[in-house]
């Protein structure tokens, strides 16, 4: 294996012809706009800076891996010559930016060079260095017009000292783009002979820039190529655990984990509401393999093959687990007290029989007990993965009727449930904090009716709700940073229109106004408040401390039922 070079114009010709493709297991784009700009600035400088070597795999009689084209490139019409193992982020950024293929950005280059110490580039510019600045301009649609409007006008951009990057693209497509640009600006006094020469020089810098590459021969085996891919990936955005498992699974079974994730997301669309579905999938899979959900587990070479074996159970667990979380009023990552709650719940549901109603009912009660103790205790505050694994093993055995040991999660001496004082002191659930969110979810489990329209809280309308101070900030201290104001017990999730009408009124005032406006009467308003476990009488008494005590008692009663696996009456 020896280092060789190809110029960008040669790489682009091969990409266009479908000769350079990506192994399907490669992750999707991960670069940020600043990384794209930095790459291009290294190429456009004179003298240029390196962008690193690529790693390729020569294709023999048959492709070792399923492949796909670089984003934005044509679909291959014949067998490719090279699989790009390392460097896809760089090649994708080059191809998309030079071909104007970013839907949310347009890329421009300054005609002038950055000056020493002007702060325009992250790399220090030395005197005598020609270093054009690259700018990625965000684009959006407004009433059918692509904003900002100046970026649509070649003359306006030239007035700003900018040219569109695609006119520098090598090959016939770039030449056509350049001619169209020249036709648009030729009558502008800013389009001088010197500007034309500057554009030609920049085009040459791009076309003739050498990108070095190392190439594995076509006799390289699948396992070797996979191992080299994992070890040699040198991207500025390192591989995640999921990316490595994608490669392992592809090598072991030929299956695409990306396709499997999409299949699962299509079957259980609400699963995406709980954060990165890829991370949750890995955690659930590890538990189903009887292993802790840790990086060292995912990096085992056998993980890919074992993943394929547990996949049917995993899908079953996700379908029933996410449905169960919804029924318990834990709708998404904004209401989620603990990340463990999602993957532990889905893993436990994976082995619950579909149509055995007795076992299903018993499992539901046990999983509810585990879920809410996960939310209300600090069992998973530290070393959560290993503790979740230990608890999963006992809980799974209990569901199967085989357990003899008590689950540590249920040990109240080591992991006590919150006291009334703990509930009273819990902070604001809008923050990512376990106990406040557990309190909020417990209240929502009663239905979470909106104060105005009476609609129950659901995964769909959750995002139209706001975190509302039952005793408004203005009625208490007037200071939004006051911890005494921002208590979980002083919060209810209601629609923004209802929230904005409250203002700085006492509870008795705005509740009376709400009852009169909606012709509900006291009974109707009481019902809606109680659906959040908000005690009506204590709220309208306008005594904040007494209200906190009364609501803490309501939450505590339901918490005790839930943490024993019972559905509160």
Give me the residue spans of the domains in the chain. Answer: 2-212, 240-410, 420-563
CB 106 within 8 A of CB 134: no
Task: State the Cα angle at 406 between 402 and 408, rounded to 5°.
Answer: 130
- Rounded to whole angstroms, the Cα distance separating 53 from 41 reads 17
DSSP letter at 83 equals: E
Peptide bond into 148 cis (omega under 30): yes
* Strand ranges across the sheet with 54-58: 3-7, 210-216, 54-58, 82-86, 20-23, 67-68
Q: Hey, what are 381's tokens?
A: 């505050």
Let me know how long the chain is.
569
> Tens digits of per-residue pLDDT, 310-351?
999 999 999 999 999 999 999 999 999 999 999 999 999 999
pLDDT digits (tens, 9 = 90+) for 429-479: 999 999 999 999 999 999 999 887 889 999 999 999 999 999 998 888 777
For residue 54, the SS3 value is: strand
Distance CA(290)–CA(284), nearest Å, equals 10
Angle at 557 (CA atoms; ends 394, 562), nearest 5 degrees: 25
DSSP state of 419: P
Helix axes 357-376 and 384-399, enclosed angle (nearest 10): 160
In 10 A of CB 530, how many CB atoms? 16
Q: How far apart are CA 474 and CA 266, in angstroms?
A: 45
pLDDT value of position 381? 85
What is the band of 228 on the pLDDT scale with cuts at 50, 70, 90? confident
Asked whether the predicted pLDDT for residue 123 surpasses 90, the reply is no
- In this structure, are residues 482 and 491 in contact, taking their beta carbons and an 8 Å threshold? no
**Is the model's pLDDT at 296 over the cut of 80?**
yes
**pLDDT at residue 550 in the model:** 98
The single-letter DSSP state of residue 233 is -
3-state secondary structure (DSSP) of residue 539: helix
Say which residue, 349 or 495, is predicted with more confidence.
349
- Rounded average pLDDT over 476-494: 89
Q: Per-residue DSSP letters for 372-423?
A: HHHHHSSTTSSSHHHHHHHHHHHHHHHHTT---SPPGGG-TTTSPPPPHHHH
List, for residues 231-241, the tens digit of each pLDDT value: 766 455 566 78
Nearest to 340 by CA among 396, 406, 274: 274
In 3D, which of 411, 436, 434 has the Cα closest to residue 423?
A: 436
Phi, psi angle pair for 144, to nearest 5°: 85, 0
Tokens of residue 454, six digits: 């009476």
Instruction: Write the burial class of residue 131 (CB in 10 Å: 0-12 exposed, 13-18 middle, 19+ buried).
Output: buried
pLDDT of 385 over the 90 cut: yes
Model pLDDT for residues 133-161, shown as the tens digit of each residue = 999 999 999 999 999 999 999 999 999 99
Joined together, the tokens standing for residue 357 give: 């109603």
pLDDT of residue 231: 73
- What does the alpha-carbon distance between residue 449 and residue 456 come to, in Å, rounded to a whole number? 4
Q: Are 226 and 196 a contacting pair, CB within 8 Å?
A: no
Question: Which residues are within 8 A (CB) of 49 and not within 5 positions of it... i.e. 6 or more apart?
Answer: 42, 123
Report the distance separating Cα 307 and Cα 256, nearest Å: 12
| Residue 518, pLDDT score | 63
Give the pLDDT of residue 226.
Answer: 77
Amino acid 478: pLDDT: 72
pLDDT above 80 (res 219):
yes
Share of the chain above pLDDT 90, in %: 73
Please report, for the chain, how many H helices and E strands are present, in that order: 22, 13
Which band of pLDDT confidence, cut at 50, 70 and 90, is reported for residue 118? low
- Which has more confidence, 484 or 114? 484
The pLDDT tens digits of the residues spanning 355-383 come to 776 778 899 999 999 999 999 999 998 78
**pLDDT of 255:** 84
Residue with token string 């191809």: 95
More confident residue, 407 or 66: 407
Tell me how far apart the alpha carbons of residues 419 and 555 are, in angstroms, rounded to a whole number. Answer: 11
DSSP 3-state assignment of 3?
A: strand
Rounded Cα–Cα distance for residues 242 and 248 (Å)? 10
Between the alpha carbon of residue 43 and those of residues 46, 61, 72, 258, 444, the distances in Å are 8, 35, 21, 32, 55
Q: For residues 328 and 318, give the distance between their C-alpha atoms in angstroms, rounded to a whole number.
A: 15
CA torsion angle 10 13 15 16 (round to 10): 170
DSSP 270: G
Furthest C-alpha separation in the chain: 87
pLDDT of residue 419 exceeding 80, the answer is yes
DSSP string over 6-32: EEHHHHHHHHHTT-EEEETTS------
- The answer to whether 19 and 217 have CB atoms below 8 angstroms apart is no
CA 169 – CA 204 distance, rounded (Å): 10
242-276 per-position pLDDT tens digit: 887 887 787 777 788 889 999 999 999 999 999 99
Instruction: Tell me if 71 sits within 8 A of 145, measured CB to CB.
Output: no
Give the up-direction half-sphere exposure of residue 9: CA atoms within 13 A in the CB hemisphere.
15
Segment 511-548, tens digit of pLDDT: 888 777 766 678 888 999 999 999 999 999 999 999 99
Give every CB contact of residue 466 below 8 A, 6+ residues apart in sequence.
493, 494, 495, 496, 499
Beta bridge partners of 42: none
């Amino acid at each position: 294996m020896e280092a060789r070079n190809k110029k960008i114009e040669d790489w682009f010709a091969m990409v266009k012809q479908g000769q350079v493709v990506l192994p399907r297991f490669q992750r999707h784009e991960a670069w940020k706009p600043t990384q794209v700009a930095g790459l291009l600035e290294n190429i456009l400088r004179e003298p240029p800076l390196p962008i690193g070597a690529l790693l390729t795999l020569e294709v023999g009689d048959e492709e070792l891996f399923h492949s796909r084209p670089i984003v934005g490139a044509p679909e291959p019409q014949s067998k490719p010559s090279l699989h790009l193992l390392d460097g896809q982020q760089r090649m994708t950024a080059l191809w998309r930016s030079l071909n104007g293929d970013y839907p949310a950005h347009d890329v421009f280059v300054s005609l002038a060079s950055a000056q020493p110490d002007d702060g325009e580039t992250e790399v220090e510019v030395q005197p005598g260095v020609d270093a054009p600045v690259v700018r990625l301009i965000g684009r959006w649609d407004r009433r059918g017009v692509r904003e900002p409007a100046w970026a649509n006008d070649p003359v306006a951009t030239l007035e700003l000292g900018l040219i569109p990057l695609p006119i520098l693209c090598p090959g016939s497509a770039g030449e056509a783009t350049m001619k169209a640009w020249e036709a648009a600006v030729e009558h502008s006094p800013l389009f001088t002979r010197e500007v034309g020469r500057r554009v030609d020089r920049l085009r040459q810098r791009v076309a003739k820039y050498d990108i070095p590459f190392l190439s594995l021969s076509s006799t390289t085996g699948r396992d070797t190529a996979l191992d080299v891919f994992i070890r040699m990936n040198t991207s500025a955005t390192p591989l995640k655990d999921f990316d490595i498992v994608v490669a392992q699974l592809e090598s072991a079974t030929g299956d695409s984990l990306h396709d499997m994730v999409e299949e699962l997301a299509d079957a259980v669309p609400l699963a995406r509401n709980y954060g990165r579905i890829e991370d949750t999938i890995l955690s659930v899979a590890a538990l189903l393999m009887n292993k802790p959900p840790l990086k060292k587990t995912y990096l085992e070479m056998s993980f890919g093959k074992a993943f394929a074996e547990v996949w049917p159970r995993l899908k079953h667990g996700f379908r029933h687990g996410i449905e169960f979380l919804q029924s318990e009023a834990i709708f998404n990552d904004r209401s989620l007290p603990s990340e463990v709650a999602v993957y532990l719940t889905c893993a436990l549901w994976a082995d619950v029989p579909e149509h055995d109603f007795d076992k299903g009912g018993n499992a539901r009660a046990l999983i509810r007990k585990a879920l809410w103790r996960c939310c209300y205790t600090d069992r998973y505050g530290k070393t959560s993965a290993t503790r979740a694994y230990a608890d999963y093993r006992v809980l799974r055995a209990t569901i199967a009727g085989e357990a003899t040991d008590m689950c540590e999660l249920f040990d109240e001496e080591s992991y006590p449930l919150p006291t009334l004082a703990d509930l009273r002191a819990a902070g604001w659930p809008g923050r990512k904090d376990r106990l406040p969110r557990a309190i909020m979810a417990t209240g929502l489990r009663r239905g979470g009716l909106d104060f105005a329209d009476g609609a129950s809280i659901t995964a769909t309308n959750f995002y139209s709700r706001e975190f509302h101070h039952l005793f408004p900030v203005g009625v208490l201290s007037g200071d939004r940073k006051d911890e005494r104001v921002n208590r979980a017990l002083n919060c209810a999730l209601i629609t923004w229109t209802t929230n904005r009408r409250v203002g700085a009124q006492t509870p008795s005032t705005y509740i009376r106004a709400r009852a009169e406006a909606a012709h509900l009467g006291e009974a109707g308003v009481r019902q809606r408040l109680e659906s959040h476990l908000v005690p009506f009488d204590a709220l309208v008494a306008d005594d904040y401390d007494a209200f906190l005590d009364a609501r803490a008692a309501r939450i505590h009663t339901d918490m005790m039922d839930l943490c024993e696996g019972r559905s509160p009456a």
